[in-house]
Amino acid sequence: MVRLKDRYLLVNIVYTDVQPGHAKGPVSDLMLYNQPTTGELKPQHLLKAVRSEVNALFGDCGSGAVGGLQVKYLSQATSTFILRISRDHYRLVWAALSFMNRLPFKDGRPCVYRVVRVSGTIRKVEEEAVRRAKLFILAAKEEMAGKPTSGALDALLRGKEQGRSLAMVVDDDGDDLGRDDSEMGLDG
Amino acid sequence: MDRSSKNSGGKLPEVRKRKDAPAGTNSQQTRPNNSRANKRVKFQDARNIRSQPPDAALDDGRLDLEKFLKAREYEIKALESSMQKCKEVNATRVFQQVPRAMRRRTASHNVKRVPKRLRGRARREMIEDNTPTVESRRRRPRTTRARIRAETAKRLGMLAAKQRRKRTEKAAVEGKEVAATPEVIQSRAPRPKIRRNVLNDPPKTTSKFRKRQVNKTWLPTHLWHSKRARMTEPGKPLWRFAIPLTPTEKCYRPTHRASGQKGAVVWDTSYMSTIGLYGLTEGAKRVLRALGLTQEALWGARGQKWRAGLRKWSGFLSKRRKDGRRNIGPATIVWNPEAPTDEGESVESTPPTNSQKQLLIRTHPACFLEVFNELLKLARMQSPQMHIEDLRFEIGSIEIVGPGSTEALIGILKPYYDNVEVEGCQGRIFESLAEVTNPSSLPKDAALAFSIRDPRLSYPPKRVAIPSGMDQSLVETLTNWPIEQHLQPYGLYDRNARHKASQLPSQKSINRRKGSSLPGKELCVTSADPPIPIMLLASRPEMTGQAQGVWTLLAPWKCILPIWYSLMHYPLSTGGNPRLGGLDEQRQVAFEQGSPWFPGDFPGTDAGVDWELRSREKRRSAWDRRPKGKRVEWKSLELGGGRKGEVGDGLACDFEYLFRLPKGAESNARVMGSSAGDDPDSMELDHPEEGDRVLSSKAHPPHPFAMIAHITKSVFNEFTSAPDATTLPQHSIVTVGLGFVSRGVANTCARIYRLPTRAQFVSEPSTQAEVPATDPPPPTSPEALPYDLKEQWLLKLQPTSQQRGRHPPAPPRMPPGADIQTRKRLQARSISAGEFPTGPKAKANQTDIGTHPLCPGEEDLIGFVTTGSFCLSEGKGMAIGSISAEKAAESLKMGAEEGKLCIVRNAGENVGWLARWELV
């Protein structure tokens, strides 16, 4: 029996139109970057945007390859979504996401689509999403308490492997699974 | 219709591949469809992850920490519940919840095969999945034979009903009352006939099963085993028995664990044959000596305990032939102790009197007939004559190995007599051994015999209380082993005692007694429960070390089943129950302990020859069945150095080739029972079962394989210590264990070579100074092997040889990020450094096989592997094989260390691996 192999991509939408250090009052930088997305964003919009980007980057061949793209989960409140794509072509989608810089509307807000986890099963992606949500809670609480260096925030930025520096991750584009693509630093 | 309501709900996709059935069709057809739709909705629902709109994270359009955190918490909950739901809705069937060991194949279509609490769900699932559930009773006969049978059965039933009706009518007319049940006349069960000096018939079975046992005999636990193990094929019994080969569940690793670390493995070895030998002491001594028990230790003071029946003897039996002795097979011999004549007299002080003696000889069914014929011949030669009895179906046996074996046996074997005076203290001593986790810690070859209660009286078996910490009394018991007190003749030798034990009360009556007593209370022994005479033999593996010993339990044939049931249900203190084992597991345990298994690893005995010929046939038919492209083509195997083709027959342990014996006319001619040099008048006996086979083989000339003789370790050692005084029989082989030095796993039929020995052609010393001394020139003729082949192999002994071997290191790689100038410079330097080839390059596989040394030549072939695989207990490849004794002795002259090195190459492969052989 032939088994269809998929990849699941966990993506965060990070807003880039906020200046660092401009947070006022009871709102931290972290919350500003990860603020909720507008309710108008529907799965269809995302699909359409990714497909058109793939088409622009890889042509007809590329857009044909990502025909099976699906949105498994979209939470506007946390600006998180999960995409499903066949295993052979997930890099096209990833590349397209890296090149998108706005919400998929006319004059959409500038943002960055950050792929935080690629996995072969949705379960592992879900587990990662839960882990990150927990870290977000921790980091937000710590930031509000006024701690200058927050461990949870570090963990959020660096992903699972604590020892890896950002520079190495940028170099290492040959890896495909379970690696964080975190060249999009928050302070960029 | 409820489906339309579902459709309107919007959960189902609008486009459907299958049309709806018309409204008029019966509901039976639409139901599965409907349920499938329901299932689909269920799946979609479960896979949907809930999410929140953005307003949930905003406080009236502004960012708010409280709401921000709430949104994340909601997300965590949603994802976790999604994972849980997905797992629950997974496509599993209810019978998958049953533990693996308890699953039945029929459970997928028969609800009665799953536990009661799961039956409802199983039934529902079967309806949902449209599983065909057919009751075999109501199935229409398919074949003509089955149809005729069914019709006959129907007609007979009608006839019987008619007669019954007539009878009742007649009785009504005569005015008599018809007795509801005909009167049953109770009669004494007949004692089974055991004829002297003649083979016995297998036990009479119920008529229902008789037809299936025409060509074979079932073990007492056959019905139990056939549900849980793969048995021998109905048409091809093994040694005339239906023997469980391997359990149906996967058990290679669990068996390894249970036999060595935790638990126990149990076999029903009732197929092992027992022979009784009766006569005077002197005659028995002569018979045993003639069977090869010539060690002086046995007949001197050291063998006193054995002759008194306190120990067993295990070893190889052999018989005399014109050209020396020939080994028959392994056997265990136990004497029956004599009744004490005087109270104060102890065993040691009794003078050797020439009194009547009884012996049990337990041997393997593969060599039973040979032993029986030999014994018969020897017993008749004695004066006064001795006699033998075939006790094959009188005495059955169970073998159990593992750390929990002693505990399990103690849990189910309860001594019948509490009084030490009646039967000696062996039962009591056995009960004190609960702490023992390895039967080899008992005195060597210990034998215990006592009578036990019916194990069903205390069924289900309860866990034995094991005293914590090493008790001093146990150490004392193990060292002193005081079993001589009140020694009585063992009940197992007594025909009447065995017969009495076979009259166990029925399960029905046991159940009735249980019902009338308090729940959970053990039943008391009544006069209806006879004592069951048993004997326990503790054997130690041949190899020294921490290997587990084996308990062998001998009991009357009919008592094996109740003992087996209790044993399989004994709750071990380490958890679980004893595991079931088959023939394959027996071979596995023997292999892991490094001991050879009879008959497979003894190709120099008649039984081993038969086994080898059989397995050759099996291998050949398996090879024939494979498509041409996917099987090894023996002729085109390239061995390197210009040699082509497998050495000998690739599908056989080709000892005929090794000894240059003539090829048999019929490769599959059977050799059985007697081979060349056997006394022909031993065949006068009538063999009710084996006769046909033996006679048919008699017509053929013996297979050349049968000329190969097995010699034991001690004979071989005698020869090597004094090669002038003793001579080896012609074509003799000795069994060895092989351990690989580094890598490598051998399979059956792998070839064993010694280190290359022949005088090599030495090439003229080269005048060229550049030629490195370690790199020899290619051989001049294609047949010649490299002259330093032996050194190449010896180099493999050193663990670091791979790093500093004679092969040049890999060329240096270009450093990453070097610019074009650097690259050029490096390139030039590498060329000027003299990377030119030193001469014409040798052809592939000429001097080595991918940098691996070549296999030695045919003249260095010394033997074959009979069993080999990766060994879990050693963590590397191990093998058992047989090598030519003459060549082994020759190579031992090279030195004890180097002489035991050999090269093992699997049949059909061209790479050999270095190994060390050790006599076993």
Q: Is the peptide bond before B541 cis (omega within 30 degrees of 0)?
A: no
Q: How many C-alpha atoms does B914 have within 13 Å on its Cβ side?
A: 22
The reported pLDDT for the residue numbered B768 is 45
Residue B311 DSSP one-character state: B
- Give the lowest-confidence range in A47-56, B828-837, B867-876: B828-837
**pLDDT per residue over A151-177, tens digit each?**
777 777 765 544 333 333 333 333 444
| Pairwise CA distance, residues B318 & B288, whole Å | 10
Cβ neighbours of residue A130 closer than 8 Å, sequence gap 6 or more? B75, B76, B79, B80
- Is pLDDT at A91 greater than 90 in this prediction? yes
The reported pLDDT for the residue numbered A150 is 64
User: Distance (Å) from the C-alpha of residue A39 to the closest C-alpha of chain B?
Assistant: 6
- Evaluate whether B904 touches B754 at the Cβ level (below 8 Å): no
| Pairwise CA distance, residues B745 & B762, whole Å | 34
- Evaluate whether B703 touches B686 at the Cβ level (below 8 Å): no
**Overall average pLDDT of the B408-417 stretch:** 93
What are the backbone dihedrals phi and psi of residue A174, each rounded to the nearest 5 degrees, phi first? Answer: -80, -25
Q: Which of B642, B645, B633 is nearest to B845 (CA)?
A: B642
Which of the four pLDDT bands, split at 50, 70 and 90, describes residue B687?
very low
The reported pLDDT for the residue numbered B864 is 94
* B345 at A interface, C-beta within 8 A: no
- Evaluate whether B915 touches B902 at the Cβ level (below 8 Å): yes
Task: Give the count of domains, chain A.
Answer: 1
- Evaluate whether B904 touches B738 at the Cβ level (below 8 Å): yes
3-state secondary structure of B379: helix
**Overall average pLDDT of the A75-102 stretch:** 94
Q: Which of B540, B469, B579 is nearest to B228 (CA)?
A: B579
- Is pLDDT at B880 greater than 90 in this prediction? yes
Looking at the partner chain, which of A38, A130, A144 has a beta carbon nearest the beta carbon of B54?
Answer: A38
In a domain, A146, yes or no: yes
Looking at the partner chain, which of B63, B75, B83 has a beta carbon nearest the beta carbon of A31?
Answer: B63
Share the mean pLDDT of chain B.
82
A135 → chain B, closest CA residue: B72
Q: Is the peptide bond before B460 cis (omega within 30 degrees of 0)?
A: yes
**pLDDT per residue over B159-197, tens digit each?**
999 999 999 999 988 876 555 556 677 777 788 888 899
Contact: B69, A37; criterion CB under 8 Å: no
CATH code, domain with A63 = 3.30.70.3250
Q: Which of B268, B453, B489 is nearest to B360 (CA)?
A: B489
Which of the four pLDDT bands, split at 50, 70 and 90, describes residue B421?
confident
Percent of chain B at pLDDT above 70?
83
Please give the single-letter amino acid code of residue B409.
L
The reported pLDDT for the residue numbered B181 is 58
The reported pLDDT for the residue numbered B570 is 95
For residue A167, the tally of other CB atoms under 10 A from its CB is: 9
User: Structure pTM?
Assistant: 0.70
- Give the lowest-confidence range in B79-88, B311-320, B721-730, B801-810: B801-810
The reported pLDDT for the residue numbered B383 is 85
**pLDDT per residue over B35-79, tens digit each?**
678 878 888 888 888 988 888 888 777 788 888 889 999 999 999
* B85 at A interface, C-beta within 8 A: no
Looking at the partner chain, which of B51, B55, B69 has a beta carbon nearest the beta carbon of A74?
Answer: B51
- Give the lowest-confidence range in A59-63, B110-114, B424-428, B801-805: B801-805
Residue B221 CA from chain centroid, whole number: 17
Looking at the partner chain, which of B63, B64, B72 has a beta carbon nearest the beta carbon of A136?
Answer: B72
- Give the lowest-confidence range in A26-40, B252-266, B758-772: B758-772
The reported pLDDT for the residue numbered A186 is 37
Which of the four pLDDT bands, split at 50, 70 and 90, describes residue B774?
very low
A23 → chain B, closest CA residue: B63
| Pairwise CA distance, residues B74 & B51, whole Å | 8
User: Distance (Å) from the C-alpha of residue B777 to the closest C-alpha of chain A?
Assistant: 45
- Evaluate whether B438 touches B600 at the Cβ level (below 8 Å): no
**pLDDT per residue over B116-173, tens digit each?**
999 998 998 888 888 887 766 677 888 899 899 989 999 999 999 999 999 999 998 8
Question: For residue A137, what are the domain limits?
Answer: 6-170
In a domain, A176, yes or no: no
* B73 at A interface, C-beta within 8 A: yes
**pLDDT per residue over A114-132, tens digit each?**
999 999 999 999 999 999 9
**Overall average pLDDT of the B219-236 stretch:** 92
The reported pLDDT for the residue numbered B545 is 67
Contact residues, chain A, for B55 at CB < 8 Å:
39, 77
Show the CA angle centred on residue B565, arms to residues B530 and B397, nearest 5°: 70
Strands B732-740 and B912-919: antiparallel
Check residues B689 and B507 and name the one with the higher pLDDT.
B507
**Overall average pLDDT of the B68-93 stretch:** 88
Q: Which of B229, B317, B268 is nearest to B602 (CA)?
A: B317
| Pairwise CA distance, residues B566 & B524, whole Å | 17
- Evaluate whether B335 touches B357 at the Cβ level (below 8 Å): yes
Contact: A36, B64; criterion CB under 8 Å: no
Which of the four pLDDT bands, split at 50, 70 and 90, describes residue B483?
confident
For residue B677, the tally of other CB atoms under 10 A from its CB is: 15
For residue B105, the tally of other CB atoms under 10 A from its CB is: 10
Q: If you write DSSP's letter for every residue of B461-506 in order, what string do you get?
A: P-PPPPPSS--HHHHHHHHH----TT----GGG-HHHHHHHH-PPP
Contact residues, chain A, for B58 at CB < 8 Å:
36
Contact: B54, A133; criterion CB under 8 Å: no
**Overall average pLDDT of the B254-273 stretch:** 94
3-state secondary structure of B754: strand
| Pairwise CA distance, residues B471 & A78, whole Å | 67
- Is pLDDT at B764 greater than 70 in this prediction? no
Cβ neighbours of residue B124 closer than 8 Å, sequence gap 6 or more? none
Which of the four pLDDT bands, split at 50, 70 and 90, describes residue B547?
confident
**Overall average pLDDT of the B407-422 stretch:** 89
In a domain, A183, yes or no: no
Strands B265-268 and B579-580: parallel
Contact residues, chain A, for B52 at CB < 8 Å:
75-78
- Is pLDDT at B888 greater than 50 in this prediction? yes
In a domain, A54, yes or no: yes
What are the backbone dihedrals phi and psi of residue B158, each rounded to the nearest 5 degrees, phi first? Answer: -65, -40
In a domain, A123, yes or no: yes
**pLDDT per residue over B559-601, tens digit each?**
999 999 999 999 999 988 999 999 999 999 999 998 999 999 9
3-state secondary structure of B329: strand
Contact: B79, A27; criterion CB under 8 Å: no
**Overall average pLDDT of the B211-223 stretch:** 92
User: Distance (Å) from the C-alpha of residue A72 to the closest C-alpha of chain B?
Assistant: 8
- Give the lowest-confidence range in B4-8, B455-459, B648-652: B4-8
Provide the terminal-to-terminal Cα distance of chain B, rounded to the nearest Å. Answer: 78
- Evaluate whether B371 touches B361 at the Cβ level (below 8 Å): yes
In a domain, A138, yes or no: yes
| Pairwise CA distance, residues B898 & B500, whole Å | 60
B67 → chain A, closest CA residue: A77
The reported pLDDT for the residue numbered B670 is 43
Q: Which of A107, A104, A112, A135 is nearest to A11 (CA)?
A: A112
| Pairwise CA distance, residues B806 & A74, whole Å | 63
Rounded-to-5 percentages of helix, strand, coil across chain B: 40, 15, 45
Q: If you write DSSP's letter for every residue of chain A in order, what string do you get?
A: -PPPPEEEEEEEEEE-SS-TT---TT--HHHHHTPPPPTT--HHHHHHHHHHHHHHHHHHHHHHHGGG-EEEEEETTTTEEEEEEEGGGHHHHHHHHHH--B-SSTTPPBEEEEEEEEESSHHHHHHHHHHHHHHHHHHHHHHHHT-SS-HHHHHHHH-S-TT--HHHHHH--S--SS-----S-TT-
In a domain, A186, yes or no: no
Residue B125 CA from chain centroid, whole number: 38
Q: Tokens at residue B706, please?
A: 């049968």
In a domain, A178, yes or no: no
- Evaluate whether B486 touches B424 at the Cβ level (below 8 Å): yes
Q: Which of B739, B756, B746 is nearest to B912 (CA)?
A: B746
Cβ neighbours of residue A131 closer than 8 Å, sequence gap 6 or more? none
- Is pLDDT at B258 greater than 50 in this prediction? yes
| Pairwise CA distance, residues B554 & B333, whole Å | 13
Contact residues, chain A, for B64 at CB < 8 Å:
26-27
- Is pLDDT at B775 greater than 70 in this prediction? no
- Is pLDDT at A40 greater than 50 in this prediction? yes
- Evaluate whether B264 touches B402 at the Cβ level (below 8 Å): yes
Q: Is the peptide bond before B779 cis (omega within 30 degrees of 0)?
A: no
